[in-house]
Structure 1
């Protein structure tokens, strides 16, 4: 990974957990797990609180269909780490109802919502779907719009043996992490899962100021190199390279700052799409 804190910046309880799971599985922990355990109070708890019901809670969409939406989101962002992972999860969770290698195998409603997540201002794409089904799909979209950006910015890579062990663990535990790993800071309900995520990443105390993080999220004015970097995270995260991160650190910024500004830009872009899609759902449906 491109930030050393994501490999070695964990609290003692998280370090022990990572060592134990690596020994038991005989495979190093995937980059996404290391990243989520790095700053649980800043990002992870709020993101997982949304992820668990979005991916495995009661829904109009089956678990396999939600994994299919995650897979196609990765395809959109050209994120090989997420694409390979969720292609495998489609195979595990769909029980044959969808062939990830044959997009036409998805039912028409799923194809419509997939196109809508790519163009959330086009209400015509979901004209025949229940409003709740559209909202549930938008929640799925928020999660993977964030995670794909993080994966590309931080250079996630799949190591040998991680695909099978990681995907089966995700499916088995339904995206849940042990609660003791997420206990950090005071948790206050801000009025729903989306607002909790927005507050945790953009408004709560952290190394960087809320004003900086809000500008990173919304495309507001920032000093360089933050202006250029956060635009990459929001708009073209696949263009971020090792040199991009090295240049940020060379200007004197700390890794915690890079992590926070990346998360803020990623969450801001994801919530912008969510808000756009939410407005496209006709009232009264």
Structure 2
């Protein structure tokens, strides 16, 4: 359900910011950013800080790898907005063909064994959380994934298991590839908080 307040902004200040940022971007401000302007208690400062930490904070995973993880969680949750948005950021730090191969089937994509093992854990965490067991974490560590990498990847998955659901629930508009690309440049420059 698309809320008019999210579309236009719920205050005069939000409306002005949406217009200014859209003009600077040269495209419609994506709905994810619009929600951040809508009633701060809805997604608010805490979610922004958590997202910033998970996606841009110190990690053994690159920003591109974490963005690809977010895109994979979005794929598993059937969220086309988040797939497009996070794929667009990921391909600014990794080969587009690799990201696309991973989104098609991470099991056969030309990615590291560590990333493949981590995505297997995240897939279970996303699609079958009741089946997640310590054996999967041990399999990931046997593939060379560190405990810190598993913690960081789990934070990305937990976060995007929430975000993809509200993106779908609020019926986020799907930008064009060019608009996703412009927004990706902004996300890399400004971050999430």
SS at match of 1:39: coil
After TM superposition, give the deviation of residue 98 of structure 1 in Å: 7.5
Is the 2:9–2:18 contact (alpha carbons within 8 Å) kept by the matching residues of 1? Answer: no
Report the counterpart of residue 75 of structure 2 in structure 1: 75
In the superposition, relative to structure 1, how do residues 84 and 143 fare at CA in structure 2: closer, same or farther (>3 Å)?
A: same
Change (3 A) 1:43 1:166: same
Alignment coverage as a number of residue pairs: 175
* Larger-gyration structure (1/2): 1
Per the normalisation by structure 1, the TM-score is 0.57
The CA distance in 2 between the partners of 1:51 and 1:159, in whole Å, is 21
Where does 1:8-87 land on structure 2 (aligned, <5 Å)? 8-87=8-87
CA contact (8 A) 1:93 1:171 kept: no
Q: Distance in 1 between matches of 2:24 and 2:62?
A: 31
Q: Verify the 8 A CA contact 2:35 2:43 in the aligned structure 1.
A: no
Aligned match of 1:137 in 141, 153, 177? 153
Partner of 2:174, secondary structure, is: coil
- Offset, 1:108: 1.0
Check 1:84–1:9 CA distance in 2 against 1; reply closer, same or farther (3 A cut).
closer
CA contact (8 A) 1:64 1:98 kept: no
- Residues 58 and 67 of structure 1, relative CA distance in 2, 3 Å threshold: same
Residue 124 (structure 1) aligned with residue 135 (structure 2): yes
Q: Distance in 2 between matches of 1:9 and 1:19?
A: 10
Partner of 1:172 in structure 2? 189
Does the residue aligned with 2:33 lie in a helix, a strand or coil?
Answer: helix
Partner of 1:100: 99
Give the gaps of 5 or more residues in structure 2: 103-108, 126-131
Task: Return the TM-score normalized by structure 2.
Answer: 0.82
- Given the alignment of the two structures, is residue 150 of structure 1 paired with residue 178 of structure 2, yes or no? no
For CA contacts below 8 A with separation 6 or more, give which structure has more relative contact order. Answer: 2
Contact 2:9–2:38 under 8 Å retained in 1: yes
Q: Displacement of 1:99 after TM fit?
A: 1.1
Distance 2:55 2:34 in 1: 20
In 1, the alpha carbon distance for the partners of 2:175 and 2:155 equals 29
Q: How does 1:207-246 map to 2 (within 5 A)?
A: none
Report the CA distance between 1:153 and its aligned residue.
0.8
> Where does residue 163 of structure 1 map in the other structure?
180
